[in-house]
Amino acid sequence: MTLPRPPQTALRPLDDALAELLGHAHPLADHEAVSTFHADGRVLAQDQVSALQVPPQDNSSMDGYALRCADLTGPNPMLPVSQRIAAGASGTPLTAGTAARIFTGAPVPEGADAIVMQEDCELLPAEGDAPPAIRLRKLPVPGQWIRRAGEDVTRGAVVLTRGARLTPASLGLAASIGLDRLQVARRPRVALFSTGDELVMPGEVAPEQMKPGSIYNSNRFFLRALLHRLGCDVSDLGIVPDRRDATLAALQSAAQDHDLILTSGGVSVGEEDHIKPAVQALGRLDLWQIAIKPGKPFAYGRVQDAHFIGLPGNPVSSFVTFLLLVRPFLLKLQGAQDLAPKTIALPAHFTWPRADKRREFLRVRRNAAGGLDLFENQSSGVLTSAVWGDGLVDNPPSQTIAPGDLVRFVPLSELLA
């Protein structure tokens, strides 16, 4: 007698799964003040308002001479040099009919309305009691090479907004308005562990001594690195044995003082997959089959007050699902507003004739001709594809690709920043 097959779980669209996952990610309530020097990558907890204007006054953007255009008459006019103004000096009002030697960043003297680059002037040495003078090779226009007060930042302006993820340029902007400390969201505390008796850590066993069926634990390395890049405090709990009691103990301990417990592998229904019953015993678990390739199996739940996310075990599946789902989840926990990566339409320089019913994320690399090359082996276990590639093609379900087709390219630089 043929036994009936168990009903298949419907595949969930990625966008629906992401929306539900983000619905569980409530921003952490507490924040902290950190040195602006150490705030790169952190998420701002409040708007930053400038108490001054930048630049504070009109200043020169060139080394040269400050003058008044109305004083210039005839071809190659000459003006005596009446003063010298360096950056940090104040200078005095410009005497009519003279020029002021000025340097980049120095304040423009009152009465001057243009800067002439020193390359456009001939310096004439002083003679007797007469001061040095300049002869202009090129006539200026009013406003030339003058940076106006407040052209960068006006007083009272919001220069950095709450929820912005700080970049090196952001830190420079904060410093330019005098901010030496910034209020940022607390780092999410993440407990990371792997499951599987087949896993071996590099360095513990030499390659030639590996037992049949054993594999090195690669997921632990890239997941830990990805978590650190997202500003998390990571507790690496190592490899948990394939035992129910060990899994329960690891989850209970991790739930005490972490915001998220992240695992890879072990959320299937096999006899040695203990994550599912252990999470269910301590909280709740939703197993999702997401309509993406690679990365179909995914789990979200709660263990006491901690979020739980279980990633698939295959390396590329774990890598891609982290970027697509865990990354925005962790950013939202920190109050970030910009969660979606920016994409680019680029031509495919490859053929993809095998349309899949799932939404596919193909590992590709930009080439010198401005198109995309495809890594030959797109298997979910081939981690070399993620090293070779510099992005993913987000290919819709049931979509073939021919050379020249415009595809949606997601740069890894967007996902790994």
CATH code (residue 394):
2.40.340.10
Question: Which residue range is the domain that position 308 belongs to?
Answer: 14-29+187-333
* CA-wise closest residue to 157 among 177, 180, 185: 177
Give the pLDDT confidence score for residue 188 in this predicted structure.
98
Same domain, 177 and 256: no
Give the pLDDT confidence score for residue 241 in this predicted structure.
82
Q: Are 275 and 250 in contact (CB under 8 A)?
A: no
Same domain, 18 and 121: no
Same domain, 102 and 169: no
Same domain, 39 and 67: no
Number of domains in the chain: 4
Please give the Cα distance from 284 to 305 (Å, whole number).
Answer: 11
Q: Which among 333, 363, 386 is the end of a domain? A: 333
Give the pLDDT confidence score for residue 248 in this predicted structure.
93
Give the pLDDT confidence score for residue 265 in this predicted structure.
81
User: DSSP letter at 13?
Assistant: P
Give the pLDDT confidence score for residue 129 in this predicted structure.
84
In-domain check, residue 1: no
What pairs with residue 345 in β-bridges? 408
In-domain check, residue 279: yes
CATH number of residue 157's parent domain: 3.90.105.10
Give the pLDDT confidence score for residue 78 in this predicted structure.
95
In-domain check, residue 388: yes
Give the pLDDT confidence score for residue 348 in this predicted structure.
98
Q: Are 235 and 306 in contact (CB under 8 A)?
A: no
Please give the Cα distance from 8 to 289 (Å, whole number).
Answer: 10
In-domain check, residue 411: yes
Q: Is 133 helix (H, G, I), strand (E, B) or coil?
A: strand
Q: 288 Cβ partners below 8 Å, 6+ apart?
A: 12, 17, 297, 298, 299, 300
* CA-wise closest residue to 189 among 232, 237, 226, 218: 232
Same domain, 211 and 162: no
Give the pLDDT confidence score for residue 268 in this predicted structure.
57
Same domain, 373 and 392: yes
In-domain check, residue 2: no
* CA 120, chain centre distance (Å): 43
Q: Is 331 helix (H, G, I), strand (E, B) or coil?
A: helix
Same domain, 41 and 171: yes
Give the pLDDT confidence score for residue 3 in this predicted structure.
45
Give the pLDDT confidence score for residue 321 in this predicted structure.
97
* CA-wise closest residue to 263 among 332, 331, 318: 318
Same domain, 261 and 209: yes
In-domain check, residue 363: yes
Same domain, 252 and 373: no
Q: Which among 333, 365, 394 is the end of a domain? A: 333
Q: Which among 185, 206, 241 is the end of a domain? A: 185
Please give the Cα distance from 99 to 378 (Å, whole number).
Answer: 68
Give the pLDDT confidence score for residue 9 in this predicted structure.
66
Please give the Cα distance from 411 to 415 (Å, whole number).
Answer: 7
Classify residue 387 by burial, with Cβ atoms within 10 Å: 0-12, 13-18, 19+. exposed
In-domain check, residue 339: no
Same domain, 260 and 124: no
In-domain check, residue 7: no
Residues in the chain predicted with pLDDT less than 50, given as ranges, are 1-3, 6, 271
Same domain, 77 and 199: no
User: DSSP letter at 37?
Assistant: G
* CA-wise closest residue to 17 among 290, 396, 326, 410: 290
**Parallel, antiparallel or unpaired: strands 292-293 and 359-366:** parallel
Q: How many CB atoms lie within 10 A of CB 411?
A: 17
Same domain, 86 and 195: no
CATH number of residue 311's parent domain: 3.40.980.10
